[in-house]
């Protein structure tokens, strides 16, 4: 082949061809559609089926929840005149869903405690915040004490009985108490499980495996029915406190397994290096092993916390009214009877916001920590 | 010499408290004393409030159970009520595990598809279900969806065969006629033949390298033999159709709304978790494996079946086990909507009627621990089979 056989009218110097635009069907919206939705006959069928599914499901839901829904203020379901969802109930009961039956004039205490928690706990999750050690000490040691006095009373504040606590506030209290207490206990259990001392190892394994093998509901039943039996006659325990103990111990067993995973991932050289430096057991764990092991188990810890947060709904069975319980109570009110779907959708959205943001955080961490080769 | 002897003596004399072994023993004695004292204290205080042992198992229960798969009456004993609850728990768990696995694998595959829309739909499914509490989903299906269904007279009919209303699901019940037993026998023979064929084909391939379409022929055997048997015996099976009479359906089988709600919530919730496990399992197989398989000349379908799936299973099986365990444990949430499972019947009604809190809760926990142990044993056995064989 020589140059004469070329049919192009223009001739270019070698290496000086102008860049041609890519074919129109491979770029822009059309290119994206072709490669992502219609790349093969099977994909085309799948896309059409998916579109049909969305057409079947989405318009009725949107219509019910937004376009023909009632957004007005009101005091009973008669005021919901349109055929869609009756969000009037949520508006009327909103603050009850947040605080339960906590007295109106004392609600600033709840707000203060949560604000304090937000301000101190959120920086813990962000990298590159200085002085995390002191912040963590504050959150895990001092804040629980302050919050106790703020929520319950004492030190000059009027006492608010725990039977008045409820709604989202109670959900958050249970969830936060769950993690604040289950993490240290879980770490101790994990260390116990990896210990060389047989008695300590066996008791840790027995506790972890026992708790993990039974449903939380039976643990709560046990806390509410059997704990009074274990105590000497006449001593009574607050119902909420019993639930908290149950949830914290339950969470601790799961936390222990997550932390154990982190401990096992530490190479032996780390232990040997620490021992060679002459560090004792607690120094080795506290200075060398745990900081690294906890760091790699943070995604697992967050996932356990999401599970714990969702499991706080189970306290309904022992008669505590957290968010879902308050919503359920509202739907049994004669004024709002038959609006359970609206109530549950609202509760689901609230839980979703909390759990989804936590799971996004854990995914982000996992991405940051995972540097291996991935498919695609 | 003197200095050396002195040094040796000093080492011997160094405080016992600094010896790791002695310290370990001291710690263990302390721990044993603490645990022992705690247990003894619990047994002591509990023994004071205990009334009697397990004698209540024999006495008459005197309450009815709305959903039972084994015979039970008001006059049956508490032991019988316990069995009914246990069977109900096992049934909803078993059906839930099967549904959740199938759905979870489908959604997990959807999340890996190349189709943008399908990926998004699967992601919305997974994220919505994973990030809301299971209890909320159960009450949502029960109070929010199933109890808002039309009443019996306006039942939603699916092909005039299955009727859905606020009292549950009415489905046709199969009635076996004479000669029906041939079909299950044919099915068993078909399965056995398919397994035998598969083993033979594998051995032949290992010896000679020749392939044999064992899977396709096996499927044909499993489906074909019962079909042939049914045709030869003239389809000895009739259906008892649900008929609307007066205010309720007569005939057919009825599935309680509690069962439907619990099953739906359990299997959808667990399926979302299984989907994530399947997705991460398949993604954990490095892409080089696919490329190497294709370079060896394997077809894409064989690559998936022979290279990707076996390696992915090793990653999938352990977390899958804990999902199964979770499903069984989560079935105890039935107590909230009144499905008569073990917790609801035994830790609920029986405990309230007899007041034997310690025995009842201990037995309930023991049952769940046994179920967990059995599932773990089975899945560990399976995991050993799919595990990577190293040296």
Q: Which residues contact A215 (CB under 8 A, 6 or more apart)?
A: B329, B330, B332, B333, B343, B368
Domain boundary among B240, B272, B294: B240
Establish if A224 belongs to a structural domain. yes
Alpha-carbon span B22 to B12, nearest angstrom: 14
For residue A148, which of A129, A176, A122, A179 has the smallest C-alpha distance? Answer: A176
Q: Are B163 and B242 in contact (CB under 8 A)?
A: yes
Establish if B381 belongs to a structural domain. yes
Q: Are A294 and A262 in contact (CB under 8 A)?
A: yes
Instruction: Tell whether the torsion through CA atoms of B45, B51, B57 and B62 is positive or negative.
Output: negative
State the smallest CA–CA distance between residue A47 and chain B in angstroms. Answer: 6
Judgement on whether residues A206 and A121 belong to the same structural domain of the protein: no
Percent of chain B with pLDDT over 90: 16
Domain boundary among B49, B65, B87: B49
Is B365–A214 a contact, with Cβ atoms under 8 angstroms apart? yes
State the smallest CA–CA distance between residue A81 and chain B in angstroms. Answer: 18
Establish if B67 belongs to a structural domain. no
| Distance, first Cα to last Cα, chain B | 53
For residue B240, which of B286, B293, B143, B171 has the smallest C-alpha distance? Answer: B171
- Number of domains chain B is built from: 3
Domain of A219, CATH number, reads 1.10.3720.10
Q: Which residues contact A64 (CB under 8 A, 6 or more apart)?
A: A84, A85
For residue B133, which of A306, A174, A28, A122 has the smallest C-alpha distance? Answer: A306
Is A230–B45 a contact, with Cβ atoms under 8 angstroms apart? yes
pLDDT single digits (tens) A81-107: 788 788 888 888 888 888 888 888 888
Alpha-carbon span A247 to A210, nearest angstrom: 14
**A265 token code pair:** 């991932």
Query: Residue A232 above 70 pLDDT?
Result: no
Domain of B110, CATH number, reads 1.10.3720.10
pLDDT classification of B48: cutoffs 50, 70, 90: low
Q: Are B155 and B166 in contact (CB under 8 A)?
A: no
Q: Which of B9-23, B56-70, B96-110 has the highest mean pLDDT?
A: B96-110
Is A36–B143 a contact, with Cβ atoms under 8 angstroms apart? no
Query: Residue B237 above 50 pLDDT?
Result: yes
pLDDT single digits (tens) B337-376: 888 888 888 887 887 777 777 778 888 888 988 988 888 8
Judgement on whether residues A194 and A310 belong to the same structural domain of the protein: yes
Is B117–A316 a contact, with Cβ atoms under 8 angstroms apart? no
Q: Are A260 and A296 in contact (CB under 8 A)?
A: no
For residue A192, which of B349, B188, B24, B62 has the smallest C-alpha distance? Answer: B24
For residue B13, give its domain range. Answer: 2-49
State the smallest CA–CA distance between residue A154 and chain B in angstroms. Answer: 32
Establish if B229 belongs to a structural domain. yes
Instruction: Flag the least confident range among A207-216, B86-95, B239-248.
Output: B239-248
Q: What is the pLDDT of residue A376?
A: 42
Judgement on whether residues A155 and A168 belong to the same structural domain of the protein: no
Alpha-carbon span A327 to B144, nearest angstrom: 12
Concatenating the DSSP letter of every residue in A247-287 gives HHHHHHHHHHHHHHHHHHHS-HHHHHHHHHTT--HHHIIII
Q: What is the pLDDT of residue B167?
A: 74
Is B140–A47 a contact, with Cβ atoms under 8 angstroms apart? no
Q: Which of A334-338, A357-361, B75-79, B166-170 has the highest mean pLDDT?
A: A357-361
Is B140–A310 a contact, with Cβ atoms under 8 angstroms apart? no
Establish if A146 belongs to a structural domain. yes
State the smallest CA–CA distance between residue A63 and chain B in angstroms. Answer: 17
State which H helix or E strand residue B55 sits in.
none
Judgement on whether residues A147 and A239 belong to the same structural domain of the protein: no
Instruction: Flag the least confident range among A65-74, A341-350, B30-39.
Output: A65-74
Alpha-carbon span B38 to B281, nearest angstrom: 43
Q: Is B21 on the interface with A (CB under 8 A)?
A: no
Judgement on whether residues B275 and B378 belong to the same structural domain of the protein: yes
Query: Residue B105 above 80 pLDDT?
Result: yes
Judgement on whether residues A168 and A143 belong to the same structural domain of the protein: no
Instruction: State the average pLDDT over residues A15-22.
Output: 79
Higher-confidence residue of B37 and A25: namely B37
Cα B273 to chain centroid, rounded? 13
Q: Which residues pair with B255 in a beta bridge?
A: B169
Establish if B68 belongs to a structural domain. no
Where does residue A74 rank: exposed (0-12), middle (13-18), buried (19+ CB within 10 A)?
middle
Percent of chain A with pLDDT over 90: 11
Is A221–B134 a contact, with Cβ atoms under 8 angstroms apart? no
State the smallest CA–CA distance between residue B154 and chain A in angstroms. Answer: 19
Judgement on whether residues A183 and A300 belong to the same structural domain of the protein: yes
Instruction: State the average pLDDT over residues A221-229.
Output: 77
What are the percentages of helix, strand and coil residues in chain A, rounded to 5? 75, 0, 25
Query: Residue B6 above 60 pLDDT?
Result: no
Alpha-carbon span A69 to A91, nearest angstrom: 13
Is A324–B46 a contact, with Cβ atoms under 8 angstroms apart? no
Using alpha carbons only, give the angle A298, A250, B42 rounded to the nearest 5 degrees: 145
Strand ranges across the sheet with B168-171 = B156-158, B162-165, B168-171, B253-255
Instruction: State the average pLDDT over residues B127-143.
Output: 91
pLDDT classification of B100: cutoffs 50, 70, 90: very high
CB contacts under 8 A, B 292-331 vs A, are: 325, 329-330
Q: Which of B283, B330, B351 has the CB atom closest to A215's CB atom?
A: B330
CB contacts under 8 A, B 224-283 vs A, are: 282-283
Alpha-carbon span B113 to B269, nearest angstrom: 21
Judgement on whether residues B88 and B111 belong to the same structural domain of the protein: yes
For residue B341, which of B329, B357, B323, B324 has the smallest C-alpha distance? Answer: B329
Query: Residue A375 above 50 pLDDT?
Result: no
Which residues in chain A touch residue B134, judged by CB atoms under 8 angstroms apart?
310
Establish if B207 belongs to a structural domain. yes
Instruction: State the average pLDDT over residues B269-286.
Output: 91
User: Looking up tokens 């022979």, which residue turns up?
Assistant: B306
Alpha-carbon span B30 to B33, nearest angstrom: 5
Judgement on whether residues A178 and A301 belong to the same structural domain of the protein: yes
Establish if B61 belongs to a structural domain. no
Q: What is the pLDDT of residue B138?
A: 92
For residue A305, which of A184, A183, A201 has the smallest C-alpha distance? Answer: A183
Judgement on whether residues B348 and B235 belong to the same structural domain of the protein: no
Establish if A222 belongs to a structural domain. yes
Q: Which of B114, B143, B368 has the CB atom closest to A214's CB atom?
A: B368
Give the residue on B whose Cα is nearest the Cα of A201: B28
Judgement on whether residues A180 and A298 belong to the same structural domain of the protein: yes
**A364 token code pair:** 């982000």
pLDDT classification of A256: cutoffs 50, 70, 90: very high
Alpha-carbon span B349 to B343, nearest angstrom: 9
Alpha-carbon span A368 to A125, nearest angstrom: 14
Judgement on whether residues B338 and B368 belong to the same structural domain of the protein: yes
The predicted model scores a pTM of 0.83
Alpha-carbon span A36 to B385, nearest angstrom: 38
Judgement on whether residues B23 and B156 belong to the same structural domain of the protein: no
Q: Are B170 and B244 in contact (CB under 8 A)?
A: no
Say how many C-beta atoms besides its own lie within 10 A of residue A91's C-beta. 14
pLDDT classification of B55: cutoffs 50, 70, 90: low
Establish if B301 belongs to a structural domain. yes
Which residues in chain B touch residue A50, judged by CB atoms under 8 angstroms apart?
115, 117-118, 121
Establish if A25 belongs to a structural domain. no
Judgement on whether residues B125 and B252 belong to the same structural domain of the protein: yes
Judgement on whether residues B39 and B100 belong to the same structural domain of the protein: no
Q: Is B39 on the interface with A (CB under 8 A)?
A: no
Judgement on whether residues A139 and A171 belong to the same structural domain of the protein: no
State which H helix or E strand residue A113 sits in.
helix A107-125
Q: What is the pLDDT of residue B53?
A: 65
Concatenating the DSSP letter of every residue in A27-42 gives SHHHHHHHHHT-SSHH
Q: Are A252 and A212 in contact (CB under 8 A)?
A: no
Establish if A271 belongs to a structural domain. yes
Instruction: State the average pLDDT over residues B230-248.
Output: 73
pLDDT single digits (tens) A41-94: 888 888 899 899 899 888 888 888 888 888 887 777 777 778 878 888 888 888
Alpha-carbon span B157 to B314, nearest angstrom: 44
Q: Are B64 and B74 in contact (CB under 8 A)?
A: yes
Instruction: State the average pLDDT over residues A101-126.
Output: 83
Judgement on whether residues A178 and A300 belong to the same structural domain of the protein: yes
Using alpha carbons only, give the angle A204, A208, A210 rounded to the nearest 5 degrees: 115
A310, A329, A332, A337: best mutation site toward chain B, by most B Cβ within 10 Å?
A: A310
CB contacts under 8 A, B 115-144 vs A, are: 115-118, 121, 127-128, 130-137, 139-140, 143-144
Average pLDDT of chain A is 83
Q: Which residues pair with A301 in a beta bridge?
A: none
What is chain A's Cα-based Rg?
A: 29
> Which SS3 state, helix, strand or coil, does residue B164 take?
strand
Q: Which of A199, A214, A230 has the CB atom closest to B42's CB atom?
A: A230
| Distance, first Cα to last Cα, chain A | 41
Q: Is B62 on the interface with A (CB under 8 A)?
A: no
Query: Residue A373 above 50 pLDDT?
Result: no
pLDDT classification of A277: cutoffs 50, 70, 90: very high
Q: Which residues contact B79 (CB under 8 A, 6 or more apart)?
A: B57, B58
Q: What is the pLDDT of residue A74?
A: 77
Alpha-carbon span A85 to A97, nearest angstrom: 18
Overall residue count recorded for chain B in this entry: 391
Is A376–B351 a contact, with Cβ atoms under 8 angstroms apart? no
Is A217–B333 a contact, with Cβ atoms under 8 angstroms apart? yes
Alpha-carbon span A32 to A338, nearest angstrom: 46
Q: Could you tell me how many CB contacts below 8 A there are between chain A and chain B?
A: 170
State the smallest CA–CA distance between residue B277 and chain A in angstroms. Answer: 14
Judgement on whether residues B251 and B331 belong to the same structural domain of the protein: yes
- Number of domains chain A is built from: 2
For residue A210, give its domain range. Answer: 163-325
Q: What is the pLDDT of residue A374?
A: 45
Judgement on whether residues A224 and A285 belong to the same structural domain of the protein: yes
Query: Residue A1 above 50 pLDDT?
Result: no
Q: Is B114 on the interface with A (CB under 8 A)?
A: yes
Judgement on whether residues B258 and B338 belong to the same structural domain of the protein: yes
Establish if B149 belongs to a structural domain. yes
Judgement on whether residues B25 and B93 belong to the same structural domain of the protein: no
Q: Which residues contact A106 (CB under 8 A, 6 or more apart)?
A: A157, A158, A160
Q: What is the pLDDT of residue A294?
A: 84
For residue B307, which of B288, B291, B286, B293 has the smallest C-alpha distance? Answer: B293
For residue A322, which of A156, A96, A143 has the smallest C-alpha distance? Answer: A96
Which residues in chain B touch residue A232, judged by CB atoms under 8 angstroms apart?
45
B26, B41, B115: best mutation site toward chain A, by most A Cβ within 10 Å?
A: B115
Alpha-carbon span A242 to A224, nearest angstrom: 6
Is B118–A50 a contact, with Cβ atoms under 8 angstroms apart? yes
Is B136–A348 a contact, with Cβ atoms under 8 angstroms apart? yes
Is B121–A53 a contact, with Cβ atoms under 8 angstroms apart? yes
ipTM attached to this prediction: 0.83
Average pLDDT of chain B is 81
Establish if A314 belongs to a structural domain. yes
Judgement on whether residues A213 and A113 belong to the same structural domain of the protein: no
Give the residue on A whose Cα is nearest the Cα of B45: A230
Q: What is the pLDDT of residue B295?
A: 94
What is chain B's Cα-based Rg?
A: 29
Judgement on whether residues B340 and B356 belong to the same structural domain of the protein: yes
Using alpha carbons only, give the angle B264, B266, B269 rounded to the nearest 5 degrees: 100
Give the residue on B whose Cα is nearest the Cα of A231: B45
Is B118–A203 a contact, with Cβ atoms under 8 angstroms apart? no
Q: What is the pLDDT of residue B1?
A: 45
Which residues in chain A touch residue B369, judged by CB atoms under 8 angstroms apart?
210, 213-214
Judgement on whether residues B340 and B304 belong to the same structural domain of the protein: yes
pLDDT classification of A248: cutoffs 50, 70, 90: very high
Q: Which of B49, B347, B351 has the CB atom closest to A229's CB atom?
A: B49
Q: What is the pLDDT of residue B101?
A: 93
């Amino acid at each position: 082949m020589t140059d004469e056989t070329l049919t192009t009218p223009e001739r270019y110097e070698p290496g000086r061809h102008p860049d041609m635009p890519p074919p129109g069907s491979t770029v822009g919206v059309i290119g994206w559609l072709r490669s992502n939705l219609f790349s093969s006959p099977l994909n085309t069928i799948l896309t059409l089926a998916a579109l049909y599914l969305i057409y079947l499901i989405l318009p009725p839901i949107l219509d019910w929840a937004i376009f023909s829904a009632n957004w007005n203020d009101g005091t009973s379901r008669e005021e919901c005149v349109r055929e869609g969802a009756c969000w009037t109930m949520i508006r009327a009961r909103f603050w009850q869903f947040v605080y339960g039956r906590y007295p109106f004039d004392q609600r600033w205490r709840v707000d203060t405690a949560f604000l304090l928690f937000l301000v101190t706990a959120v920086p813990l999750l962000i990298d590159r915040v200085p002085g995390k050690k002191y912040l963590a000490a504050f959150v895990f040691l001092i804040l629980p004490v302050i919050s106790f006095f703020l929520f319950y009373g004492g030190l000059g504040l009027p006492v608010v009985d725990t039977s008045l606590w409820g709604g989202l506030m109670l959900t958050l209290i249970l969830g936060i108490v769950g993690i604040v207490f289950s993490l240290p206990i879980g770490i101790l259990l994990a260390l116990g499980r990896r210990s060389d001392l047989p008695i300590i190892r066996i008791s840790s394994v027995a506790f972890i495996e026992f708790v993990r093998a039974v449903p939380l509901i039976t643990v709560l039943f046990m806390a509410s029915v059997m704990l009074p039996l274990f105590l000497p006659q006449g001593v009574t325990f607050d119902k909420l406190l019993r639930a908290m103990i149950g949830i914290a111990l339950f969470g601790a067993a799961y936390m222990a397994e997550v932390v154990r995973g982190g401990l096992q991932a530490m190479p032996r050289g780390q232990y040997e290096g620490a021992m060679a430096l002459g560090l004792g057991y607690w120094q080795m764990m506290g200075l060398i092993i745990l900081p690294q092991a906890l760091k790699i188990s943070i995604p697992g810890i967050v996932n356990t916390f999401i599970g714990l947060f969702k499991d706080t709904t189970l306290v309904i069975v022992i008669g505590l009214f957290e968010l879902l319980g308050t919503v359920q109570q509202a739907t049994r009110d004669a004024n709002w009877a038959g609006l359970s779907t609206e109530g549950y959708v609202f509760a689901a959205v609230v839980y979703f916001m909390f759990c989804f943001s936590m799971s996004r955080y854990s995914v982000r961490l996992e991405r940051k920590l995972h540097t291996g080769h991935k498919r695609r | 010499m003197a200095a050396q002897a002195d040094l040796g003596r000093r080492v011997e004399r160094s405080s016992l408290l600094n010896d790791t072994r002695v310290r370990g023993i001291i710690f263990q004695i302390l721990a044993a004393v603490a645990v022992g004292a705690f247990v003894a204290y619990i047994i002591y205080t509990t023994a004071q409030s205990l009334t009697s042992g397990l004698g209540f198992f024999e006495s008459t229960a005197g309450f009815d159970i709305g959903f039972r798969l084994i015979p039970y009456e008001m006059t049956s004993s508490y032991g019988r009520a316990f069995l009914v609850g246990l069977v109900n728990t096992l049934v909803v768990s078993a059906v839930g595990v099967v549904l959740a696995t199938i759905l979870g694998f489908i959604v997990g595959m959807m999340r890996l598809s190349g189709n943008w829309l399908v990926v998004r739909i699967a992601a919305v499914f997974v994220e919505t279900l994973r990030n809301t509490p299971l209890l909320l989903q159960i009450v949502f299906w029960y109070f929010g969806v199933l109890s808002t269904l039309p009443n019996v007279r306006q039942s939603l009919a699916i092909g005039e065969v299955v009727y859905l209303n606020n009292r549950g699901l009415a489905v046709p019940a199969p009635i076996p006629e004479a000669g029906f037993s041939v079909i299950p026998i044919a099915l068993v023979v078909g399965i056995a033949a398919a397994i035998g064929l598969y083993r033979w084909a594998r051995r032949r391939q290992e010896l000679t390298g020749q392939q044999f379409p064992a899977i396709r022929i096996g499927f044909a055997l499993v489906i074909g033999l019962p079909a042939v048997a049914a045709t030869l015996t003239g389809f000895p099976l009739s259906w008892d159709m649900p008929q609307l009479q007066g205010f309720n359906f007569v005939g057919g089988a009825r599935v309680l709304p509690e069962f439907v709600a619990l099953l739906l919530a359990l299997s959808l919730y667990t399926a979302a978790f299984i989907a994530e496990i399947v997705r991460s399992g398949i993604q954990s197989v490095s892409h080089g494996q696919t490329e190497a398989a294709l370079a060896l000349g394997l077809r894409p379908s064989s690559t998936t079946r022979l290279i990707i799936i076996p390696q992915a299973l090793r990653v999938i099986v352990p977390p899958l086990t804990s999902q199964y365990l979770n499903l069984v444990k989560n079935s105890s949430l039935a107590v909230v909507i009144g499905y008569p499972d073990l917790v609801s019947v035994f830790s609920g009604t029986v405990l309230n009627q007899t007041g034997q809190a310690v025995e009842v809760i201990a037995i309930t926990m023991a049952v769940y621990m046994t179920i967990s142990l059995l599932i773990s044993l089975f899945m560990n056995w399976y995991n050993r089979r799919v595990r990577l064989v190293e040296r």
